[in-house]
Chain A
Amino acid sequence: MRITCPLCGPRDRREFYYYGTDDYLNRPVADAAPAAWDDYLHNRDNPAGVTRDLWYHDMGCTSWLAVTRNTVTHAILKVEAVAPVKGATQ
């Protein structure tokens, strides 16, 4: 599998560290209800199909990336840097 890093270009997936779903980008506000934190930390979909995950270009530019891919076909549909995607919320 190859991931096209927006900065470094196409690279073997072994250069990347896999973190998990992009839910991690949507951090609840500090005093959010426990259920919101529970969802943020623990509750996950497990789709057969399109998913959006976070990967870290550990061996490259150290960008955190949101990778949209299809778990059935292995097709990678989109790779975005997390920073411009999410920007400043804090």
Chain B
Amino acid sequence: MRIEGKGHIDRSKPLRFRFDGVEYTGFTGDTLASALLANGVKLVGRSFKYHRPRGLLTAGSEEPNGMVEVVDGNHHTPNVRATVQELYDGLTARSQNRFPSLKFDVLGVNDLLSPFLSAGFYYKTFTWPRAFWEKLYEPVIRRAAGLGTLVAQHDEAAYEKAFAFCDLLVIGSGPAGLMAALTAARAGADVILAEEDARLGGRLLSDGGQVGGQASVDWVAEVLAELKALPNVRIMPRTTVTGVYDDGTYSALERVGLHLAPRTDLPRECFWRIVAKRSVLAAGALERPVVFPGNDRPGIMLASALRAYLNRWGVVPGKRITFIANNDGAREVARQIMAAGVKVAAILDTRENASAVEDCPVYLGARITGTKGRLGLTSIEVAHKGGKLTIETDCLAMSGGWNPTVHITCHLNGRPIWRDDIAGFVPAANAVPGLIPAGACAGDFSTAAALANGAAAAAESLSALGIIAATPDLPSAENAPYVIEAFWQTPGAEGRQWLDFANDVTTKDVALSAQENFRSVEHMKRYTTQGMAPDQGKNSNVAALAVLADVTGRAIPETGTTTFRPPFVPTSIGAMGAGGKAQGFAPQRFLTSDQASRDRGAPMIEAGLWYRPSYFPKPGEKTWQESCNREVRMVRTAVGVADVSTLGKIDIQGKDAARFLDFVYTNTFSTLPAGKVRYGLMLREDGMVLDDGTTARLGEHHYLMTTTTAAAGLVMRHLDFVHQAFCADWDVRFISVTEAWAQFAIAGPRARALLATMLDRTPDLPFMGVTDVTLGSVKARLFRISFSGEEGYEIAVPTRYGEALFRDLLARAETLGGGPYGMEALNVLRIEKGFITHAEIHGRVTAYDIGMEKMVSAKKDCIGKAAAARPGLVGDERQQLVGLRAQAPITAGAHLFRAGDRVHRETDQGYVTSVGWSDTLNCWLALAFLEKGRARHGETIRLIDHLRDIDVICEVADPVFFDKEGAKLRA
């Protein structure tokens, strides 16, 4: 029911929305919750376990009951809190956890079975027979319990992540937060003011009170106008600070597009990481329910929620309101309700000696012993110090006191401190370095205290940063003392008294937990699921703790608290993973030849972050294998061109460059003449092979190292470490030039002929030579190296010319019967030659294993040398690199066994690292590691791949299958 003249909604802008198929009207400024209440909808959901009918308990993000699905076409978002969802025109929402309808839910039968469904029921009951769990019990329980449903489709909506930095982060924009922000902003500090609500002002928007002699909301507007005009202030509405991390890092969740009809270009949410030098926590406090039998019926809500619905949204969800409280705060709400012309049936005060001045019945020493109304409250049973009575009422507002919002002060392991005088926890001093709690979240509940504390906290924060801030004049404000008498449950009453509404935990469950010796608060939580629902116990933890303390005969501080962890509010995975999809997950690296390869229909394959052509299909070729075979044949008989730019290239210069290379490579580079290239082997300090590649000496003090594609970054990091840790004073400098050069392999018997068509003079370059050449006006480098076993060259040009050169090379190759070849052919060519890649040097392989132990120079130290010589890293017990030949398909990853041995882990003789079909040799080839392998060439071995049902007898061979003498290479 709307109250005329109340609320900060725009009644000139009505909005249509649907809930459970029924169309309603609300106003701009409404939340879904306020609009539903205004339309008389009290029943909004069914509880998690017992499917009890539930209504709205709160008006904020801590709402445990009012969770709905917001529908957008074929998608919907589950577990949206109606109290947070702003109304927009066309909003469609539906209740969840009910079938077939909210008013008639068949699983409401759970509620009748509740004597059998107490805490621990599932653990005790559904454990036998074991096989029934997965097939029967779990699916049934899953369907019965739970909240909203997921959409089994990709979430294609946009999400954003962002970073922000500031001097002072102010969390919350109530009186404390606004004052803190104002104080810091006027002092010139960079301020971020984060407010969970769409509107700033916190409780000042809903308390219906005054600040500085004017309406609270007008004072808020004045302060905001000043803050907005300052360039050093960033105001972030709809932004919840969700977590605190080390060194002043805060996470925050911003609702960017959720308050609007869905559109594809606007992010739904933004996940912020805010780094703040200092922060003021002004998160306020959350009101506690009162615990009595049947305290969960629709129509029973917090007094603060009733106050907010009245003052902010002009809604009162009832015609005869009753209050129950253990503190004075609710009295002001009752007075406001009466002033709005709504009947207050009674005020029930649990205290025996409270005042009774209101113009309505006030009962002291009151208890509620029962409630009635299946889908909405109709009456309550009351016992008080003067007797018993039944009160007809359709809305009960309760206040069990206030819990300071300490949550994020616990994120760095800080434990809150119990204060008897306010019957609540407050943040421990310095629980988060650099964060000062102010106002209600520090246990100071009056508006005047909040204003003063906010200003003081900001001044103290800034002074730590060397900024002197003047405290603004403090406006006058409500300054009532907070008087409370703890009341945790209704003693001696029959019926279930609810603690955790969201997870259906009652006082009996907590008692049962203690009885079964789950007495530690952390054990009780897990046994009963208390505090484990989406509200994370914001409404119930303290009361549950008090009940546990009571039944175990301990005091509350002694009983302790559970740990609050991030996030403070439910956070969508989409928001947390924002920016982590597709190219945001892994950058894509493209070769200069990329388009030319795609033009030729080459499927691309990922090699690390790179995209490389797999093969270049020709008309008539039906499988990749046909194309691959042709490309191998082409290289072996004519000429092939491949883009090899992905290999890491490191330019190394300085008088100590040679000395440095001698230290990082096992073999010697100081003796390499300029104009020559040498194969090098690099070890890790633990003796395992790190990488291999060729390094060219371009000048006296100038080398060019190549690394494998896979290890380019790894090698750079390794070189940086060796240099900075062991020889920082040497005259050596190095930098990656991987991206500066496009480099193409030209391989095959006609490679030289191809070069002759494009160079002024064909250099007489010996095998493993390097020289500068020019291509027209472009300076290039020509290497004579080969990864295919054919006469091979690699030509490198500045990357800007890469695409042009690739297309040019292909055209020339094609006139010679050649063309491009892809990764598949490249792989077969190198396997035929026994050239290793990181498939072989995978991190557990030594120089000895690959037959290169002689490359570890005896004449000098190098990284990995000491370890490489240790027993266990050399010798017969190690598996050695061999070749395998087979007449049937074989696979990498297969294991090797002696024929006749039982196939078992203990009889495992080795494993396969690379395979390929060799058209050249008309058989399958593999590289593998085999026990004592070098001595077993010519033997047969059984290759088994259980995953692919492969069982093939292979012949063990030298890993160099083709042209072992290298005659073609050196031609």
Enumerate chain A interface residues (CB-CB to B < 8 A).
1-2, 10, 12, 17, 19, 24-25, 27-28, 30, 32, 34, 37, 40-41, 54, 56, 58, 62-64, 74, 76, 81-84, 86-90
B725 in contact with A62 (CB, 8 Å):
no
For residues 711 through 744 of chain B, which have their beta carbon under 8 Å from a beta carbon of chain A?
716-717, 720-721, 724-730
Chain B residue contacts of A89, Cβ below 8 A: 726-727
Chain B residue contacts of A12, Cβ below 8 A: 249, 273, 275
Residue of B nearest to A32 (CB): B866
Interface string of B865-880 (1 = CB under 8 A from A): 1110010000000000
Chain A residue contacts of B870, Cβ below 8 A: 34, 37
Query: How extensive is the interface on chain B, given as a class?
Result: 20 to 34
A56 in contact with B866 (CB, 8 Å):
no
Chain B residue contacts of A82, Cβ below 8 A: 721, 724-725, 728
Q: What are 25 A-B pairs at a CB distance below 8 A?
A: A1-B247, A27-B725, A32-B866, A34-B870, A37-B867, A37-B870, A54-B721, A56-B717, A56-B721, A58-B717, A62-B716, A62-B720, A63-B724, A64-B721, A74-B412, A82-B725, A83-B725, A84-B728, A87-B728, A88-B727, A88-B729, A88-B730, A89-B726, A89-B727, A90-B727
Among B273, B275, B663, B725, the residue within 8 A (CB) of A24 is: B725
Chain B residue contacts of A54, Cβ below 8 A: 721
Residue of B nearest to A37 (CB): B866
B245 within 8 A of A: yes
Question: Assuming the A-B contacts A34-B870, A90-B663, are A2 and B275 also in contact, with contact meaning beta carbons closer than 8 angstroms in the complex?
Answer: yes
Chain B residue contacts of A63, Cβ below 8 A: 724
Chain A residue contacts of B245, Cβ below 8 A: 1
Chain A residue contacts of B663, Cβ below 8 A: 90
Chain B residue contacts of A10, Cβ below 8 A: 247, 275
B814 within 8 A of A: no
Across the A-B interface, the 5 shortest Cβ-Cβ residue pairs:
A83-B728, A30-B861, A88-B729, A2-B247, A83-B724
Chain A residue contacts of B720, Cβ below 8 A: 56, 62, 64
B717 in contact with A30 (CB, 8 Å):
no
Distance (whole angstroms) from the CB of B216 to the closest CB of chain A: 39
Distance (whole angstroms) from the CB of B469 to the closest CB of chain A: 23
Enumerate chain B interface residues (CB-CB to A < 8 A).
245-249, 273, 275, 412, 663, 685-686, 716-717, 720-721, 724-730, 861, 865-867, 870
Distance (whole angstroms) from the CB of A53 to the closest CB of chain B: 13
Among B717, B861, B867, the residue within 8 A (CB) of A41 is: B867
A-B contact number at CB 8 A: 77
Residue of B nearest to A56 (CB): B717
Chain A residue contacts of B412, Cβ below 8 A: 74
Distance (whole angstroms) from the CB of A1 to the closest CB of chain B: 4
Q: How far, in whole Å, are A87 and B869 apart by their CA atoms in the complex?
A: 28
Chain A residue contacts of B726, Cβ below 8 A: 27, 86, 88-90
Residue of B nearest to A69 (CB): B246
Distance (whole angstroms) from the CB of B470 to the closest CB of chain A: 29
Q: How far, in whole Å, are A89 and B726 apart by their CA atoms in the complex?
A: 6
Q: How far, in whole Å, are A72 and B247 apart by their CA atoms in the complex?
A: 14
B275 in contact with A41 (CB, 8 Å):
no
Chain A residue contacts of B721, Cβ below 8 A: 19, 24, 54, 56, 64, 82
Distance (whole angstroms) from the CB of B2 to the closest CB of chain A: 49
Known: A56-B717, A87-B728, A88-B730. 17 other contacts (CB 8 A): A1-B245, A12-B249, A24-B685, A24-B721, A24-B725, A27-B726, A30-B861, A30-B866, A37-B866, A40-B685, A56-B720, A56-B721, A62-B720, A82-B728, A86-B728, A88-B726, A90-B726
Residue of A nearest to B275 (CB): A2
Residue of A nearest to B247 (CB): A2
Chain A residue contacts of B724, Cβ below 8 A: 63-64, 81-83, 86
Distance (whole angstroms) from the CB of B162 to the closest CB of chain A: 13
Chain B residue contacts of A1, Cβ below 8 A: 245-247, 249
A25 in contact with B725 (CB, 8 Å):
yes
Distance (whole angstroms) from the CB of B560 to the closest CB of chain A: 20
Distance (whole angstroms) from the CB of B615 to the closest CB of chain A: 34
Q: How far, in whole Å, are A83 and B244 apart by their CA atoms in the complex?
A: 34
Residue of B nearest to A76 (CB): B247
Chain B residue contacts of A87, Cβ below 8 A: 728-729
Residue of A nearest to B865 (CB): A30
Q: How far, in whole Å, are A52 and B247 apart by their CA atoms in the complex?
A: 18
Q: How far, in whole Å, are A84 and B725 apart by their CA atoms in the complex?
A: 9
Distance (whole angstroms) from the CB of A44 to the closest CB of chain B: 13
Distance (whole angstroms) from the CB of B673 to the closest CB of chain A: 25
Residue of A nearest to B249 (CB): A2
Question: Assuming the A-B contacts A64-B720, A82-B725, A84-B728, are A41 and B686 also in contact, with contact meaning beta carbons closer than 8 angstroms in the complex?
Answer: yes
Chain A residue contacts of B730, Cβ below 8 A: 88
Chain B residue contacts of A83, Cβ below 8 A: 724-725, 728
Q: How far, in whole Å, are A27 and B727 apart by their CA atoms in the complex?
A: 12
Residue of A nearest to B723 (CB): A83
Q: How far, in whole Å, are A35 and B273 apart by their CA atoms in the complex?
A: 47
Q: How far, in whole Å, are A86 and B390 apart by their CA atoms in the complex?
A: 83
Q: How far, in whole Å, are A89 and B273 apart by their CA atoms in the complex?
A: 42
Chain B residue contacts of A86, Cβ below 8 A: 724-726, 728
Distance (whole angstroms) from the CB of B170 to the closest CB of chain A: 21
Distance (whole angstroms) from the CB of A47 to the closest CB of chain B: 18
Residue of B nearest to A22 (CB): B725
Distance (whole angstroms) from the CB of B868 to the closest CB of chain A: 11
Q: Which of the listed residues B248, B685, B728 has the most CB atoms from chain A within 10 Å of its own CB?
A: B728
Distance (whole angstroms) from the CB of B124 to the closest CB of chain A: 38
Distance (whole angstroms) from the CB of A26 to the closest CB of chain B: 10
Q: How far, in whole Å, are A12 and B663 apart by their CA atoms in the complex?
A: 33
B248 in contact with A2 (CB, 8 Å):
yes
Chain A residue contacts of B729, Cβ below 8 A: 87-88
Q: How far, in whole Å, are A81 and B866 apart by their CA atoms in the complex?
A: 27
Q: How far, in whole Å, are A10 and B249 apart by their CA atoms in the complex?
A: 12
Distance (whole angstroms) from the CB of A7 to the closest CB of chain B: 12
Among A41, A64, A90, the residue within 8 A (CB) of B685 is: A41
